[in-house]
Structure 1
Amino acid sequence: MKIKLKLPRYGMNMEEATIVKWHKQPGDAIQEGDPLYEMETEKVTQVVEATGNGTMVEILVQVDGIAEVGQAVCIVESA
Structure 2
Amino acid sequence: MSTDVVMPQLGNEITEAQIDYWSKGPGDKVEKGEMLLTITTPKLTMEIEAPASGTLKEIRVPADEIASVGDVLAVIDEA
Q: Distance in 2 between matches of 1:70 and 1:51?
A: 14
**TM-score relative to the length of structure 1:** 0.92
Distance in 1 between residues matched to 2:34 and 2:25, nearest whole Å: 12
**Greater than 3 Å deviation, 4+ residue runs:** none
Q: Specify the code of the residue in structure 1 equivalent to 2:54.
A: G
Among all aligned residue pairs of Structure 1 and Structure 2, give the percentage whose two residues are the same amino acid.
Answer: 37
Listed as ranges, the gaps of 5+ residues in structure 2 are none
Question: Aligned equivalents of 1:29 and 1:47: distance in 2?
Answer: 18
Deviation at 1:78, TM superposition (A): 1.7
Q: Secondary structure at the match of 2:47?
A: strand
Letter in 2 for 1:22: W
Cα offset for 1:20? 0.3
1:26-71 superposed Cα distances (whole Å, 9 cap, x missing partner) = 0111112211100001101100011221110000001110000001
Structure 1, unaligned stretches of length 5 or more?
A: none
1:20-59 residue pairs with structure 2 within 5 A?
20-59=20-59
Aligned length in residues: 79
Q: TM-score, normalised by structure 2?
A: 0.92
